[in-house]
Each structure stands twice: as C-alpha cells, then as structure tokens.
Amino acid sequence: MGRSQVATSVFPAIVAYKPPHSLTSTFSLACFHYQLRKWSRPEVLTDFAFIHQTLKPLKLLLHHLPSPLRKSLVMTSVASKRLFSEYKHLSTDPPEGITAGPVSEDDMFVWEALIEGPEGTPFEGGVFPAELKFPRDYPLMPPTMKFTCDLWHPNVYPNGTVCISILHAPGDDPNHYELASERWSPIQSIEKILISVMSMLAEPNDESPANVDAARMWRERRADYEKRVRTEVRRGLGLE
C-alpha cells in the first residue's frame, strides 16, 4: 500500500473508530482494546508523518494573515500535533484498564475514554465512559473531563464533570486547597490524567468536594457509600 493510500484509507479508520457508549463488562473492554490495537499498528501511524512534508508550503501563508488569526492557527497546529502524538502512544501502549482516543477523524479536540473500576474498591467490575474536551491552546491549558454515566463520587459533580487537581489551570490555587505543582502543566499528559482519575476513584479527596452529599456519605456512612456505588456499577452492567 502506498503512502497516499495509507493516509486516505487506513488513518481515517483508526481515528473514526468509535467505542461503544455502554460497554458492559471487562471482556467488552478487552475486545475494544483489540480493535484499537488492530487499527493502530505503529508502522501505519509512523507512515502518516509524511503528510507533514506536503503541508510545509502552507506555512508560507501564515505570514500574510492577521496576527490574531495567525496565532490562533499556530496554537491549533501545535495542539493537534501534540494530541496526535499522545493518541499514538496511548494506542500502542495503553495503561492497564484505560482506553482513549478521538471521537471522530474530523475533530482531534474531543476524545472518549473508558476507565475500568480499580480492584478492591466498590467501583471494581465497572467500566466508566468519559468525554475529554481539549482547548485550542492545549497543552498550555488542560482539557475538561466529564463522565457520561452515573457516578457517585466526592470529586465528580452531579453532571459528571471531574474535579481533580491535574485538570485545574496552571498556577496557584486561589482557595489554597492544592499546590501549584499538583495542578496542570504542559509536561502533564492525557495518560497521566486518566491514571490520576482512576486513582481518584479508589481514593477520594474530600477536602474540596465537587459532590458535597457524596463526600459527606463517604466520610460519615462509608458502608452506605460503598453500597450505593456498587448498585450503580451493577446498574451500569445491566444487572439491575
């Protein structure tokens, strides 16, 4: 297969592959991993780099654009390259229990992720889908992350939005709950975000909760908290 054929036929299939919104078992997650690995062979992703050579002449056009537009286009290009690089890494060497990638070949700035519930926690056995949205100035600023399923947790807002230090903008915390070193920086990555969220499921931070009721239940009525989480996991698996 020629390089042009790789770009026009194989790469769209890689990025366009959409994971099911309601995987119901660890087995299903394993099947999804297999599909993603099948389409994301390292040699295919590496061949795609030749496209950047064909786009070099377009850089000359940037010098004739208004400064604000030129800056916006440059930032978007930097973000796209970074996102593609991270996708390539996650596709070829994903962390255990985590899968993530763009929702569509037309938009690298919206991703879907699947996170397995950590073993030894009430989330064990569950598979939790989430959406990540990246700003055009990524990686200078962090993405937002939102679970697209019911998830009862002190650090997840009722609408599913995740509240965790690594997703907070760089700099000092105005509320003094977290150190600047705990917040987002360009050296962080999507992989680090997803691993941090998986750890968050196992070990909530109740100092500045996003869901006050869940935090109170976790502190004062731990057995009830764990029972509710297990019930939601079973419901997500279609067992209730």
DSSP 104-166: ETTEEEEEEEEEEPPTTSTTTT-EEEEEEE--TTTTTSPPEEEESS----TTB-TTSBB--GG
pLDDT, position 75: 58
pLDDT, position 44: 42
Distance of CA 95 to the CA centre of its chain: 12
Count of domains observed in the chain: 1
pLDDT, position 221: 98
What are the helix (H) ranges across the chain? 3-5, 11-16, 26-39, 42-47, 51-55, 67-92, 190-202, 212-220, 222-236
Rounded to whole angstroms, how far apart are CA atoms 4 and 20? 30
Phi, psi (deg, nearest 5) at residue 54: -75, -20
Whole-prediction pTM: 0.70
Here the tokens at position 84 are: 């593609």
Q: Convert the pLDDT of each residue in 141-197 to its tens digit.
A: 999 999 999 999 999 999 999 999 999 999 887 776 788 888 999 999 999 999 999
Residue 31 annotated to the active site: no
pLDDT, position 106: 84
CATH of the domain at 18: 3.10.110.10
Question: What sign results for the dihedral spanned by CA atoms 229, 233, 239, 240?
Answer: positive
pLDDT greater than 80 at residue 17? no
pLDDT greater than 50 at residue 45? no
- 210 pLDDT band, cuts 50/70/90, is very high
pLDDT, position 203: 96
In sequence order, what are the beta bridge partners of 162?
156
**Helix/strand/coil for 92:** helix
Share of the chain above pLDDT 90, in %: 57
Q: Domain range spanning residue 9?
A: 3-236
pLDDT, position 141: 96
Single-letter amino acid code for the residue at 100: A
Residues sharing a CB contact under 8 Å with residue 139, sequence separation 6 or more, in sequence order = 79, 82, 186, 188
DSSP code, position 175: T
Which residue is catalytic, options 114, 127, 162, 163? 163
Contact 185, 161 (CB under 8 A): no
pLDDT averaged over the chain? 79
